[in-house]
Structure 1
């Protein structure tokens, strides 16, 4: 989106990230070291991967509030299966199938039953968390069995001195960008997000595309979950009840992907992740309390949504109705 006809929100956010970097470099000793910068990018790589998943859905004019819950429960179940003797590849495949099933149900509820996405995915996230805790495992934290220590490489490994999570983040970004730009279904997804009725008239299979976008979101979420489990050798399912999903939305909206749908690129997610990463790293070095950090992030998210609402009204009627 363009602001004041000159700079896009993406360019402004990137400039703010650079300014924050410079400010922290001057005021915080050790901020601009190579080690800290690598740790900074590594620490937000999972957030960035989830941001790509959410970005695809938002471009399709949806939202997925079940993303974090689906990630946590599916990966925790996979680890639980491994601990009871299921092979690591089979357990990971079952966890992925679980994610695909949740994404398909989300898409069906939204596309065919026509439940608003925010309510369908909010209810699904709550249901999935309860289902997992009652039927699949009983503990809050599922630890990675020693037999599957090879999965630790996803979160703790390095290639040429660079943490593997950064490579995975870049691969997910590249895959999503190629999907949106060069595939028929990527163009369909953008068309559905831009104008659902017009897309239907032109022959776009709108309902299957909506189902597809939620299945893609769940799949990418599973990748983020595997990286998370590899980083800490466990999966804490309580993350499903945390504010993490709002951090994901913050990255997407702050980066410049309009909630009105049909607009945005993967690069928007990258710059949004960069800014939040720099901000969180700086606040951590300054020992700012976690609750205060949440207040700051909440204010930034609210500001970004207000700006997005002004610049990208959801439709012509919304833009014209004014105050009611």
Structure 2
């Protein structure tokens, strides 16, 4: 009984991850090979980086549905400007200005206008996609111009491991240190647990909320650059894919509570590991993408239900309607 009381979502998911990994290693041909393990890490790195940004928002009692649109459309615009002859530095500054503007708009509307985050970020995602696709780029897939630094980034390896794996690990470590050992990190948890009490105690809840959405937007842009370097292009159709749901799945399945104030970067690592191993195993088993999406949807629904049971939304959260 004492052991059962120590169980929580994080430990349960970690145990399931280890179990699936062991079974797949023993039964699936090629799963435990070095190349396949590196492929698993690479496949979840960009997704994990995006989930780190989403985790920061959710811990602070919010949600950001604009991350994939920011990732795809700002990087596509950056590539288009370079293809049109603009210098890389000038194009990068313009793209960064756009990213910062979107992040600040999201943060301002959520923090000061008090519009529910789910509606704000859904609207900015739709607007960003429509504006960039109709006015700033002329095709769905924008290639990297020849000689761009992104070509070198996509090919960069350290000990035969792609650079995005190291960046994912570094960002996770940085996020862990900030949340665990800094005053700002403690404020994020306090604001997520009880924003009114945090505000009454003198914490800068609203400016901090704006900062979190800005960081989320910058993380999305960085993930987009890594994606473009890896694929040598940016396909804007990813905005209409299931990637956003995958980000939420990685975040929630690892044990970050949607009610806010709970979880951390370790939960993202566990969630990313589970999803990466599971998707790789399903691919080896040649399970059609349609059924893979169905399985992921079922897992996400189960995780949300489980989260609602162990992290019930309080009356204040329900009144806010923020997620």
**Structures share a fold, TM > 0.5?**
yes
Is 1:48 matched up with 2:48?
Answer: yes
Counterpart position of 1:322:
none
Q: Distance in 1 between matches of 2:156 and 2:317?
A: 49
Q: Which runs of 5+ in 1 are unaligned?
A: 320-324
- Contact kept? 1:153, 1:164, Cα under 8 Å: no
Partner of 1:205: 204
- The structure-2 alpha-carbon separation of the partners of 1:50 and 1:29, relative to structure 1 and needing over 3 Å to count, comes to same
Residue deviations 1:8-47 (CA, integer Å, cap 9, x gap):
3112111111111111112211101111101111111010
Deviation at 1:314, TM superposition (A): 1.7
Q: Report which stretch shifted further, 285-294 or 150-159.
A: 150-159
Answer whether contact 1:154 1:165 (CA < 8 A) is retained: no
Q: Helix, strand or coil: the match of 2:5?
A: coil
Q: Report if the CA contact (8 A) 1:254-1:301 is conserved.
A: yes
Per-residue CA shift, 1:193-238, capped at 9, x if unaligned? Answer: 1110010011011111111110010111111101000001100011
1:25 match? 25
Number of corresponding residues: 316
Of 250-259 and 94-103, deviating more is: 94-103
Say yes or no: does 1:158 pair with 2:157.
Answer: yes
Structure 2 residues not aligned, in runs of 5+: 319-323
Match in the other structure for 1:315: 314
CA distance in 1, matches of 2:30, 2:229: 27
**2-structure distance, mates of 1:304, 1:191:** 24
CA–CA distance in 1 between the matches of 2:293 and 2:89?
A: 37
| Equivalent residues in 2 for 1:17-166, closer than 5 Å | 17-148=17-148, 150-166=149-165
Instruction: Return the offset for 1:4.
Output: 5.1
Per-residue CA distance 1:92-130 (angstroms, 9 max, x = gap): 232222111111100111111111011111111111100
Q: Segments of 4+ in structure 1 off by > 4 A?
A: 316-319
Look up the SS of the partner of 1:263 in the other structure: coil
Partner of 2:321: none
Q: Deviations over 1:51-103 (max 9, x none)?
A: 10100000010000011001101100111111122222332232222111111
Residue pair 2:48, 2:268 contacting (<8 A) in 1 also: yes
SS in 2 for 1:147: coil
CA displacement 1:270-321 (0-9 Å, x = unmatched): 00000000000000111110010000000000000000011111215789xx
Which residue number corresponds to residue 282 of structure 1? 281
| Range 179-188 or range 163-172, more displaced | 179-188
- How far apart in 2 are the matches of 1:205 and 1:257? 23
Q: Cα distance 1:317–1:190, how it changes in 2: closer, same or farther (>3 A)?
A: closer
Asked if structure 2 preserves the Cα contact closer than 8 Å seen for 1:68 and 1:221, the reply is: yes
After superposition, what is the alpha-carbon deviation per residue over 1:249-285, rounded to whole angstroms, capped at 9, x for unaligned?
0000000000000111100000000000000000011
CA RMSD of aligned residues (A): 1.5
The answer to whether the Cα contact below 8 Å between 2:259 and 2:317 also exists between their aligned partners in 1 is: no
